[in-house]
Structure 1
Amino acid sequence: MSKLTSKKKAVYLQIIISRDGFKCFYCKQSFVKNNWIYEHLDNNPNHSEVENIVLAHQSCNLKKRNDCDMQIMAMEKLKLNHQVNLSCERESVELEGPTLSPEMDTNMQNFEITEQYITEIIQTDTSIEAKNAINAAAMLCHKKTGSGSTVAIRRYIDMLTSSEGPFMFAKNDEGKKIIIKRSGK
């Protein structure tokens, strides 16, 4: 049992497209741009073997929760995937090598840029205003990778300030939201 990491997503994408095509497993419609998600057939995010993963529209994923036919369809697909021996395909793909998606590489680079920027500022200034951190990191990412949306940077900062992250949110004397180093991290 393991989580579906960014590295696995990139590796699995090639296998899933080869196995199922680049269309929603449930509605069979092709995807437009990046309007797809990785769907766990058994609804358990801890079961992240490629046999348990298909591509789906977010709306179909949500609909599946209350649709018995879609749930049966998912269980039948899971059973079929387990019957088909995918181990040869899986072993031929390196989980430690470069990702298969330029977008995934850029996302990982931008996360690292954001983390490094916040770390450096906090080491010298002990805190950074959250709004400034988002805008400055987005600009740095845009300069270094050609991509840097504030929405993505907010997500990175949410990760970095999660209970497992090295930083946390606080308020300064003026009541503004700031990012500080989490004690013990």
Structure 2
Amino acid sequence: MALKTLTTNKKDKIFAQKIEEQSRKCVLCNMPFEKTMVWNESCCFDHLNDKRTENEDSNLAIVHRECNLMKRYNVDYKVRALDWKKHLESQISLSQCEGEKKADTHKQIDPDELDEGNINLIVNKLAKSQLEELLPENSKDQIPYSRILNNIHYLLIKQTGGRGSEQASRRALNNLVKSEYSDYELKKLGRGNKVIQRRI
């Protein structure tokens, strides 16, 4: 439940986080803040939807004091404020989804309930998760094949109580990097030196 008033304690607590989140710029005028600034001098907290009782992080931003006053009459500022609120809400939703996904990927499973089909599903999910985690969209990194394989095999053993083989891990990883339709590709950099990268 949201606090009815935005306390000084909360302002102090989230000020630095908000400034960095906004790249040290006012979300209303898009102009930078002064370097040696504190929230009660040249800037203040703004309730993005103008509802002062809604003090969730997704409804708060740091703005110049004069911008905060102008927002009451400036339609562009109101639109920018609501756009920023949507951005913050989408970031929070994304973080929650990633947290749930990570928890689901690393959870322990009762080995007695596993058969070969279940193990295949688990190892395929782990391989996909490792590739997405280590090589996110637009990444130009090259990750050693052996590193990703070892990660998958370790997580498989951990989740299945030792029931997963390295061969199953290798097969799952190869399925995701050797297809021409995959977002990932296997590249050889020399004898015995293989890396995985995002497909260009």
TM-score by length of 1: 0.44
